[in-house]
């Protein structure tokens, strides 16, 4: 099993190309099931989760091919996937595949909408709370689906097609909103989605669906209207840049000092996160090429932050912010409101000498003058990279174990950081 070795100290200087957003690429790939024509996706990141979803799609009879490189392509340019679901041969998504990645459960909606039935295993994925699928199922039932749960599988039926309806989510759900958008696109009549998630990735998926012939308005707001159509076409779409990767590397620069251009990053996708990083003492400059992040030697200032759905501070940056605050001059408080079990990184950060106290859903961090390198273990996708941020500023050597979690969400992390002066290397078992 691979490990990553980091020797802390050097500031980060240079440029880091921001990859396509994992949280948009996965639902966009799943949307290919809605049409029998090819969907071409550009700027797809090279991640373990993308590879796993390819295998799930192939299991349904989908052809996935990789577009060749074009002249002038840089090594970090995202891959181009040609996805063709001309004929779906199997409407079952088995446990051994779905259990490895939670987002794969979303195939339920397009399979049901296009084929009139689907059988999908209840999901697995990150161990960060229960993250139930009841809201996704509720959305499909509002559109006329008949659903049973049997032996760990969700069995969904709509032999005469789905019908438009009103979906009111009791709380904001990204997965539920993606599910509702895909299902409603092929439903008969109009669907109204209230209390919809407003994340940029939702907007990106809606834009792609509209290119495919869907009639969606209001994506990016809490109220989305979908006029169902009988058939969707193929399309070509470029995945938007990853705002979580953007925020992660911005915090790495704030932690180590230095001057880094985050190439291709878009500030409007992450304004609340960038505001917090500025509050912590970094300088943020939007440019034509992306976002430039610098920090002088003045040190890191403490912050008080509560995670919230977009446009609030993202839960996917909470672990990274806690790592940054371990070196702040004072006391910080970070409250997690999205997932109930998302502090598993705290015990590992304390191995560096961090002072962190947990009380329910709030972490209180007393900044320390120095961190010391240590052997640590990645626990989930986003938390893993918080250990890298701490290690970059720690004295001595850190060994991050179980880095397959990192490979699920961060493309070529050690190459990107190494190019900016970090002492970092992957050690293959």
Catalytic residue IDs: 126
The 39-44 sheet, strands edge to edge: 63-66, 79-84, 39-44, 235-238
Contact 173, 198 (CB under 8 A): no
The 12-17 sheet, strands edge to edge: 12-17, 258-263, 290-295, 283-286
Measured in whole angstroms, how far is the alpha carbon of residue 113 from the centre of its chain?
25
Contact 361, 335 (CB under 8 A): yes
280, 286, 289, 295 alpha-carbon torsion, rounded to 10°: -30
Helix (H, G, I), strand (E, B) or coil at 270: coil
| Beta strands 3-7; 215-217: pairing state | unpaired
26-46 exposure pattern, b = at least 16 Cβ within 10 A, e = fewer: bbbbbbbbbbebbbbbebbbe
Helix (H, G, I), strand (E, B) or coil at 372: strand
Query: What are the phi and psi torsion angles at 113 (to 5°)?
Result: -65, -40
Q: Which residue has the tokens 């190019």?
A: 419
Q: What are the residues whose beta carbons fall under 8 Å from the beta carbon of 315, sequence distance 6 or more?
A: 307, 336, 337, 338, 339, 342
């Amino acid at each position: 099993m691979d490990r990553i070795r980091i020797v802390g100290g050097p500031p980060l200087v240079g440029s880091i190309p921001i990859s396509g957003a994992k949280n948009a690429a996965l639902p966009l790939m799943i949307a290919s099931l809605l049409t029998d024509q090819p969907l071409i996706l550009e700027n797809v990141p090279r991640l373990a989760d993308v590879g796993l979803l390819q295998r799930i799609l192939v299991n349904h009879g989908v052809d996935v091919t990789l577009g060749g490189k074009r002249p002038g392509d840089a090594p970090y340019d995202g891959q181009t996937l040609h996805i063709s679901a001309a004929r779906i041969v199997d409407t079952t998504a088995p446990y051994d595949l779905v259990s490895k990645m939670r987002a794969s459960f979303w195939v339920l909606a397009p399979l049901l909408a296009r084929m009139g039935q689907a059988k999908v295993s209840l999901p697995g994925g990150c161990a960060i709370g229960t993250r139930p699928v009841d809201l996704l199922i509720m959305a499909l039932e509002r559109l006329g689906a008949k659903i049973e749960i049997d032996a760990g599988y969700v069995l969904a039926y709509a032999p005469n097609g789905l019908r438009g309806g009103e979906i009111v989510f009791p709380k904001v759900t990204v997965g539920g909103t993606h599910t509702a958008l895909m299902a409603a696109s092929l439903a008969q009549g109009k669907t109204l989605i209230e209390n919809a998630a407003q994340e940029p990735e939702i907007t990106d998926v809606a834009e792609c669906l509209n290119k495919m012939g869907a009639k969606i308005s209001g994506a990016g707001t809490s109220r989305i209207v979908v006029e169902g159509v009988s058939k969707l076409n193929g399309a070509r779409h470029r995945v938007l840049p990853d705002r979580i990767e953007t925020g992660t590397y911005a915090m790495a620069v704030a932690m180590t000092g230095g001057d880094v251009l985050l190439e291709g990053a878009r500030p409007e996708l992450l304004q609340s996160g960038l505001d917090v990083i500025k509050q912590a003492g970094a300088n943020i400059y939007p440019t034509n090429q992306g976002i430039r992040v610098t920090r002088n030697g003045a040190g890191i200032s403490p912050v008080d932050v509560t995670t919230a759905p977009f446009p609030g501070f993202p839960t996917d940056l909470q672990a990274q912010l806690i790592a940054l605050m371990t070196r702040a001059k004072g006391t910080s408080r970070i409250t997690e409101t999205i997932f109930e079990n998302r502090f598993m990184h705290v015990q590992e950060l304390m191995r560096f000498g961090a002072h962190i106290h947990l009380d329910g859903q709030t972490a209180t961090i007393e900044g320390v003058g120095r961190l010391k390198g240590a052997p640590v273990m990645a626990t989930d996708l986003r938390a893993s990279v918080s250990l890298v941020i701490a290690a970059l500023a720690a004295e001595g050597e850190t060994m991050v174990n179980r880095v397959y979690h990192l490979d699920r969400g961060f493309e070529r992390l050690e190459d990107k950081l190494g190019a900016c002066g970090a002492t970092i290397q992957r050690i293959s078992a």
